[in-house]
Chains A and B, each alone.
Chain A
Amino acid sequence: MSKKVIEVFNLTKKFGNFTAVDRISFDVKEGEIFGFLGANGAGKTTAMQMLCGISMPTAGEGTVAGYDIIKENERIKRNIGYMSQKFSLYEDLKVWENIRLFGGIYGLSDKTIAEKTNELLKQLDFEQERNTLVKYLPLGWKQKLAFSVAIFHEPRIVFLDEPTGGVDPAMRRQFWEMIYDAADRGITVFVTTHYMDEAEYCNRVSIMVDGRIDALDTPAELRRRFSADSMDEVFRQLARKAKRGDQ
């Protein structure tokens, strides 16, 4: 069995009386594509932000990339990439400027950044957009760029929060090819999604309902256990119990 890069135990986040994330425990293995599913408001984003060190857990413990999520959150940040649900690269910077900025923040040298930028733009077939302000890119391209920036510094784990939200099917396919490429290079992928066909692409998935993890296994095993034909049906069966959210 390969090494665990994420391990959490009873991780909890409360906002006042509201328990967004309720004692979740799970682990993610190195090189895995881990699907983090759940209805809107189930607590996926909050859980992910605790793992990334930008949200302080109310209770519980865990490690990411071998570092404690409570005490060593800044060290975790050296080893992860993050792509938030809302596009959050700088819209008033050009494509190459965004890449350069984040490369620089992660400590890459000017030379490395320049070389890797050329390589990346070629790979993405983005060369003609090098000097385009990011705000003028179509959404699908923005998402691809955001993902590329998130893994530009070769992190051990990349966290993707609904990376394909609002993107057309063809672009979604391309996006998942990029995810597989990253996984092949040894980057662990932690991804939330609403698309159940995408859940099938994951090695393992967890399904969150009302702040708790109700199921966690490989897609095939989950289908078997819930005697369902598809992940979509598994999800419906679980989500039906939800008391919050807007579905």
Chain B
Amino acid sequence: MKTLKFLIEKEFKQMFRNPLIPRLIVLFPTMVLLVFPWAVSFEIKNIRVDVVDHSKSVYSKRLTDKIAASQYFILHDTPPDYNAAMLNMENDETDMIVEIPASFDVDLVKRRESGVGVAVNSVNGTQGLLGSNYVMQIVNDFSSELRGELTQTLPPQTRVSFMRLKKMNIVPQYKYNPALDYKKFMIPGFMVLLLTILCGILPALNIVMEKENGTINQINVTPISKMNFILAKLIPYWAVGLVVMIISITLSFLIYGLWPGGGVVAVLISSIVFILSVSGLGIIISNYSETMQQASFLVMFFILILVLLGGMFTPVSSMPAWAQAIAAINPFNYLTTAFRMLYLNGSSLADVSGNLLALGAIAVVLNGWAVFSYKKRG
């Protein structure tokens, strides 16, 4: 244990003398939190729409206006027929076509129901899905509006019975993120991403750098224990991770007003367990690599897997079984869930203890492997 002190001292000195790393630790979280939450969002806005209005009635005009007024859509054109609109889509001038049939107003008044045709360019799948959903919402809204108005025109007797029959309106209430602010959903994920990158890549490059410089030889001829050597590599990244988290927590409060309902301590404790697991992964990569180039490629590959199968961008529950199996041993997944619970649900440390246990188990396995794969004798 005594030698550990000397080793940790050495790691910190080297870290602070590196011209880049101390700056990265501060700049990286600042940049990511300032920029990314605004850009990375699954809300689709500014969908260009062509409305083909065969009805040219008051009602169809109102529906068109309603679409144009929505924040999601930009009314691009009102071509005379569907083919002209399709031509626009093929030229990538519009993303979506709404076709209102000639009998729209008549149907609405007489039969109390009507339909519109919607065609969406689904090359971008998300845009296709969300775009058609938004139009559906607008049309639904419009129809209940009309229903209300039409009811007024009926004779009193019928009106009452009609009102009784009136379709129930579903008004969703969004818990935990009432404004449906996508940024707030993504920020805890970005924090995990930051920890993964800084506390995963830096240790991955660390030991392999000692191999390239030859200093590892001088270490290997000493009686130093493998455990102490690996611990000394891990512990400084706790410090790095905690600094990153403190910057992130502060910035997300100051800029986005986001504060963990579960408490800062719970967030930091979860981070510490997580850092141990990704740093362990980094060290394993470093042990198996001979050059910095190999290590960088490997670590990028693994980080990609961690992030894409980690539930930050897409929910794990909708992944196929094999991907869910990977997610079950993915530390990224556990911390993203824990952070979202602590930040958005206001869960307590006890609520995320299952995630922390899983993270702890992963950390033990990975670091055991890290010690094992460090070979003092070739």
Interface residues of A (CB under 8 A from B): 49, 52-56, 73-75, 77-78, 80, 82, 84, 86-93, 97, 100-107, 133, 159
User: Are B13 and A97 in contact (CB-based, < 8 A)?
Assistant: yes
In chain B, what residue has the closest Cβ to A85?
B214
Q: Chain B: interface residue count, which band?
A: 20 to 34
User: Are A74 and B223 in contact (CB-based, < 8 A)?
Assistant: yes
- Residues of B contacting A105 in the complex (Cβ-Cβ under 8 angstroms): 3, 6-7, 219, 222-224
In whole angstroms, how far apart are the Cα atoms of A204 and B376 in the complex?
Answer: 30
**Is B112 in contact with chain A by the CB < 8 A criterion?**
no
**Is B2 in contact with chain A by the CB < 8 A criterion?**
yes
In whole angstroms, how far apart are the Cα atoms of A83 and B353 in the complex?
Answer: 49
B71 CB to closest chain A CB, in angstroms? 54
- Enumerate the 9 nearest inter-chain pairs by beta-carbon distance, A residue then B residue, closest first: A104-B6, A82-B221, A88-B214, A77-B223, A88-B218, A86-B214, A78-B223, A54-B220, A105-B222
| CB-CB under 8 A for A54 and B214, given A104-B3, A107-B2 | no
| 17 A-B pairs in the complex with CB atoms less than 8 angstroms apart | A53-B376, A53-B377, A54-B377, A55-B377, A77-B222, A80-B221, A82-B218, A87-B214, A88-B213, A88-B214, A92-B14, A101-B6, A101-B7, A103-B6, A104-B2, A105-B6, A107-B2
Q: Besides A87-B214, A105-B7, A107-B2, 9 other CB < 8 A contacts?
A: A78-B223, A80-B221, A84-B217, A92-B18, A93-B14, A102-B218, A105-B3, A105-B222, A106-B223
In whole angstroms, how far apart are the Cα atoms of A133 and B6 in the complex?
Answer: 18
In whole angstroms, how far apart are the Cα atoms of A133 and B218 in the complex?
Answer: 18
Most central of A91, A105, A107 by chain B CB within 10 Å: A105
User: Are A77 and B378 in contact (CB-based, < 8 A)?
Assistant: no
In chain A, what residue has the closest Cβ to B14?
A92
**Is B23 in contact with chain A by the CB < 8 A criterion?**
no
User: Are A106 and B2 in contact (CB-based, < 8 A)?
Assistant: no
- Residues of A contacting B216 in the complex (Cβ-Cβ under 8 angstroms): 88
**Is B159 in contact with chain A by the CB < 8 A criterion?**
no
**Is B57 in contact with chain A by the CB < 8 A criterion?**
no
In chain A, what residue has the closest Cβ to B228?
A105
A147 CB to closest chain B CB, in angstroms? 12
B194 CB to closest chain A CB, in angstroms? 25
User: Are B3 and A54 in contact (CB-based, < 8 A)?
Assistant: no
In chain B, what residue has the closest Cβ to A100?
B6
A91 CB to closest chain B CB, in angstroms? 7
Most central of B6, B17, B214, B378 by chain A CB within 10 Å: B6
- Residues of B contacting A97 in the complex (Cβ-Cβ under 8 angstroms): 10, 13
Chain B contacts with A in 108-137, Cβ cutoff 8 A: none
Binary A-proximity of B168-184 (CB < 8 A = 1, otherwise 0): 00000000000000000
- Residues of A contacting B17 in the complex (Cβ-Cβ under 8 angstroms): 92-93, 133
In whole angstroms, how far apart are the Cα atoms of A202 and B9 in the complex?
Answer: 39
In whole angstroms, how far apart are the Cα atoms of A127 and B180 in the complex?
Answer: 66
In chain A, what residue has the closest Cβ to B4?
A104
User: Are A77 and B2 in contact (CB-based, < 8 A)?
Assistant: no
Chain B contacts with A in 13-55, Cβ cutoff 8 A: 13-14, 17-18
Binary A-proximity of B204-228 (CB < 8 A = 1, otherwise 0): 0000000001111111111110000
User: Are A56 and B218 in contact (CB-based, < 8 A)?
Assistant: no
Chain B contacts with A in 194-250, Cβ cutoff 8 A: 213-224
In chain B, what residue has the closest Cβ to A78?
B223
In chain A, what residue has the closest Cβ to B2?
A107
In chain A, what residue has the closest Cβ to B219?
A105
User: Are A54 and B218 in contact (CB-based, < 8 A)?
Assistant: no
Contact of A88 among B2, B217, B224, B376 (CB under 8 A): B217
- Residues of B contacting A55 in the complex (Cβ-Cβ under 8 angstroms): 377-378
A176 CB to closest chain B CB, in angstroms? 22
**Is B5 in contact with chain A by the CB < 8 A criterion?**
yes
User: Are A89 and B218 in contact (CB-based, < 8 A)?
Assistant: yes
- Residues of A contacting B215 in the complex (Cβ-Cβ under 8 angstroms): 88-90
- Residues of B contacting A90 in the complex (Cβ-Cβ under 8 angstroms): 10, 14, 215
A158 CB to closest chain B CB, in angstroms? 11
In whole angstroms, how far apart are the Cα atoms of A222 and B217 in the complex?
Answer: 33
User: Are B378 and A56 in contact (CB-based, < 8 A)?
Assistant: yes
| CB-CB under 8 A for A93 and B214, given A54-B376, A77-B221 | no
| CB-CB under 8 A for A91 and B378, given A82-B218, A101-B10, A104-B6 | no
User: Are B6 and A54 in contact (CB-based, < 8 A)?
Assistant: no
In whole angstroms, how far apart are the Cα atoms of A106 and B219 in the complex?
Answer: 11
- Residues of B contacting A84 in the complex (Cβ-Cβ under 8 angstroms): 214, 217-218
- Residues of A contacting B10 in the complex (Cβ-Cβ under 8 angstroms): 90, 93, 97, 101
- Residues of B contacting A100 in the complex (Cβ-Cβ under 8 angstroms): 6
